[in-house]
């Protein structure tokens, strides 16, 4: 079905549902959203020759003045009414602060606008967390961005950074998500963690929490756990893919985080399994696939993106 939903994406590459993508997202993910019925405008936070999973890259980082100029162009043509804003990777604090100003202005025009933020800051390797963006982005995300976001998709390390709390158990993860809810977002999804999965060591845990205020003022929270099979490879762009897919499926299932996450994670599994199969075939038996061979097979996965077979089920907590 085709939704007339406008979306602004500030990403590497993402607006009738119109989305504006502000920040670095791969061009394939804009196509993904278009395939799912969204109109997408894209503002690139960075313009790189290739993603940073390669040994080398060249390019430019957009700053706040440049973002402001692009947004003013949209305003002059009166095409700056959006239903969603999606943000991902950026390396510039002034750009990030300008994103907040733009989101607040867009919400004044459309009170139903949903802002989906992937607070890309770092990750854990072998149990140790490390930031791969400038450290001065953290207070901007924590104090300015997260409070205006409706949906956030941090990994475990990013959730720990935003709250100042370490996560060792599922109970602690749920407490961290409560803190994040209190900061602003109605929906919090910790996209990956190093928590022990009930299904075993070959599975990766994601946790989701959706908090809604009912008409009588009371709050209702839906919490879920998703266990997905680990894939023995390092992919770049999975966080972008998760955020874009979650936006699409929460739009289609606005009051059912369980179904939205099942479709998101199942689609991702189809993409990753197709990618690793292709990468191994290209690398040859006994050889480790390189970054180019591990580029996500998005186009080849079009059918799975449009209508994913549910192969990963979520557990309601």
Would you say the C-alpha torsion 251, 263, 209, 43 has a positive or negative sign?
A: negative
Please tell me what DSSP assigns to residue 169: S
Query: Is the Cβ–Cβ distance between 89 and 82 less than 8 Å?
Result: no
Query: Is the Cβ–Cβ distance between 194 and 288 less than 8 Å?
Result: no
For residue 268, the SS3 value is helix
Active site annotation includes 178: no
Q: Which of 164, 61, 142, 135 is nearest to 97 (CA)?
A: 142
- 175 vs 302: CA distance, rounded Å: 37
Please tell me what DSSP assigns to residue 148: G
Instruction: Give the active site residue among 41, 92, 150, 240.
Output: 240
Tokens of 299: 């186009």
- 209 vs 230: CA distance, rounded Å: 22
Q: How many CA atoms lie within 13 A of 311 on its CB side?
A: 14
- 256 vs 203: CA distance, rounded Å: 23
Query: Is the Cβ–Cβ distance between 152 and 119 less than 8 Å?
Result: yes
Q: Which of 203, 202, 131, 134 is nearest to 160 (CA)?
A: 131
Catalytic residues: 240
């Amino acid at each position: 079905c085709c939704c007339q939903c406008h979306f602004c994406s500030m990403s590497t590459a993402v607006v009738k549902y119109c989305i504006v993508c502000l920040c670095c997202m791969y061009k394939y993910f804009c196509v993904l959203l278009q395939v799912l019925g969204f109109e997408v405008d894209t503002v690139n936070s960075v313009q790189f020759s290739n993603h940073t999973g390669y040994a080398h890259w060249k390019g430019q980082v957009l700053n706040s003045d440049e973002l402001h100029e692009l947004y003013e162009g949209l305003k002059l043509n009166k095409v700056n009414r959006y239903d969603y804003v999606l943000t991902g990777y950026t390396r510039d604090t002034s750009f990030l602060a300008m994103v907040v100003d733009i989101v607040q202005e867009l919400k004044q025009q459309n009170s139903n606008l949903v802002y989906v933020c992937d607070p890309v800051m770092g990750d854990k390797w072998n149990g140790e967390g490390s930031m791969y963006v400038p450290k001065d982005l953290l207070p901007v995300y924590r104090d300015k961005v997260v409070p205006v976001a409706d949906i956030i998709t941090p990994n475990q390390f990013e959730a720990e950074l935003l709250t100042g709390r370490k996560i060792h158990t599922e109970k602690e993860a749920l407490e961290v998500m409560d803190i994040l809810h209190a900061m602003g977002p109605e929906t919090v999804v910790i996209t990956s963690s190093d928590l022990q999965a009930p299904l075993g060591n070959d599975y990766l845990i994601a946790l989701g929490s959706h908090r809604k205020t009912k008409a009588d003022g009371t709050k209702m929270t839906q919490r879920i756990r998703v266990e997905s099979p680990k894939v023995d490879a390092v992919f770049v762009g999975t966080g972008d893919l998760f955020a874009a897919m979650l936006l699409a499926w929460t739009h289609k299932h606005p009051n059912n985080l369980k179904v939205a996450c099942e479709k998101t994670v199942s689609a991702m599994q189809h993409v990753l399994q197709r990618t690793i199969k292709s990468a191994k075939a290209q690398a040859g038996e006994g050889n480790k696939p390189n970054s180019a061979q591990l580029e996500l097979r998005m186009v080849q996965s079009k059918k799975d993106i449009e209508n994913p077979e549910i192969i990963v089920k979520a557990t309601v907590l």
